[in-house]
Structure 1
Amino acid sequence: MSTESNKRSVVVGIFVLLGIIIFVAGVFVLGGQQKRFTKSFKLMAVFKDVGGLKVGNNVWFSGVKIGTVKRISFFGNAQVEVDMNIEESSKQYIRKDADATISSDGLIGNKIVVIAGGTTSHPQVEDGDRIKTSDALSSDQIMATLQENNNNLLRVTNDFKELVGNLKRGKGTVGAVLTDSMVAENFKKAMRNLELASNNTVKMTGSVSQFAARLNTKGTLAHELVTDTTVFRRLSRSAASLEGAAKSANSTVATLGQTSQNLNRASEKLNNTNSPLGVLLTDQETAANLRTTLKNLNQGSVLLNEDLKAAQSNFLLRGFFKKKAKAEEKKKADSTSAVQP
């Protein structure tokens, strides 16, 4: 074999050795990334939708890569079961109440499985455990929400644009205030009136404070009325007396009213020509007849007295009148002696 052939064989052997070394290094690197040469255990999770998750995608726990997705298969009624290889060293931090969700590695990166560790009140997971899952927002849902927000923002912008246009055209109260000088002047006058009213309110408040201070000053009538119960009771009694006097006055007025009514009725009767008193008061002929009758009665009484005197002088009746005079004198004497001691 020539020297040239030996050199060629050595070069080829070197390149082959380098290729083998590179291949082995690549296998170890890829195996390290896929956790192929790390002791691991199996966890399972059932999702309603994995959103494009693939075998070999990473599994994260608290922001640290702890495993990879080993297998994806359908489970039950339109569900997907995901088997994961998890590093044995992270087993002590993952609890049985841990929660798995589907997320993205960045905004548009590969899908990943994110595990939340759970609480220390639960034991740590075992090989082959199935942990619970929760649904996460997909990128489509996020985009739909953003689109809806954009539509709402566009409507708000259009409404604001229309509002500003109406204000510029002087529509509405605010637009009139901004564009009409007369309305603006009236608004200024209203503000000045409000300021005056505010000043008057302040003055009134000061007057009320002064009045309250006077009420708190001892010796004044207002203070006595507010604080002295004796004065209050006297005023109450006076008010009760005034009320009684008012009631008495009302009853007196009612009595006077009845008396006035009675007098009116009597006056009507006196003025009535059909009644005897009305005839006497109103009929002159009857009054003349009454005077004549009275005059005749007086003359008759005079004549009767004269006849009685003549009868006393008659000898037939003289004894009777003498006995009567003696009886009267005896009666007077008896009464006089009974009066004297």
Structure 2
Amino acid sequence: MNSTYSALPRASFFNRNKRRLHKYGIIIAFFILCLAVTVIGEVQVTNGAWSSNYFLSQDNILIVFRQISINGILAIGMTFVIITAGVDLSVGSVLALAGIVAARFATTNSNMAIGDTANAILIPTLVALGIGLVCGVINGTILARYRLQPFIVTMGMLSAARGLSLLTTDGNPVSQLNDDFRWLGNGYILGIPVPVVLFAVLLVLAWIVLNKTTFGRYVYAVGGNQKSARTSGINVLKIKVLVYTLCGAMAGIAGLILTARTGSAQTSAGTAYELDAIAAVVIGGTSMVGGIGTLVGTLFGVLIIGVMNNGLDLLGVQSYYQQIIKGALIVIAVMLDPSRKQQRD
């Protein structure tokens, strides 16, 4: 009898720690990854001597944050979409289309230029944002109004946007970009890379929208149970359109930054970027069945992918292994999804 009662506190303690581990597991995993890369770098022997670790240097940290900024911006929009139990496979192609068209308003190449390059920041920014918004509205309207699967609709947009990117320039890249425009990808604000600043600002604004507004509560409600949300008076169609519009806008901004950073707009830009965005969101704890997810988790998902890629590069590991590890992380994250068990039950 006494042994039975004594077992109860231990079970309760385990359950409390299990919930805490699930809540903070992504943060713990990130710091473990950083520690592992640091330790391996320190003990790696080069020419018979201990190698100096470049991973934790200020320069490399800024490189990591600059590298993750584009995927981070895409992942912000993808988080909203996946919380509503959707997915957007078109963000990589929309990114390319927005970058190509925006670059034509910022190039000094007379054969490719559209308009006056004197407005090499404002006009391209508005163009890229506008293209992203339009593509997002089309995705959201079609899948919500006709109740089609997001996978099918956004896959169609993936193909259409990629085709428009090729058609816009006959498959040719747009180069010779204005220096003012390139500042968006390579400039600094108070010593911090501009892409990192933009990512941080967008992340904070998105967090406020998702956690402090009625729209954010409706996003979770639609993802949790569409029928109940509709019964409660929530305009499910409107919420879905707005969510995909937001995701398209993020893709447009990401395309703008990527083009400015690389110095040219390539028709092949953004290939498979949607997979990295989905991976970051899922690794960050957002449930693919909807209703569960946080932008803080997405941030750490993006950081894990960025640190993993950077660390493996510094350690001389081939990029092929990065894809394998990334795929394994996605599968493990989905397997650990608590809502998966609830859905199965």
TM surpasses 0.5: no
Q: Output the TM-score relative to the length of structure 2.
A: 0.15
From the CA coordinates, give the structure whose radius of gyration is larger. 1
More helix by share: 2
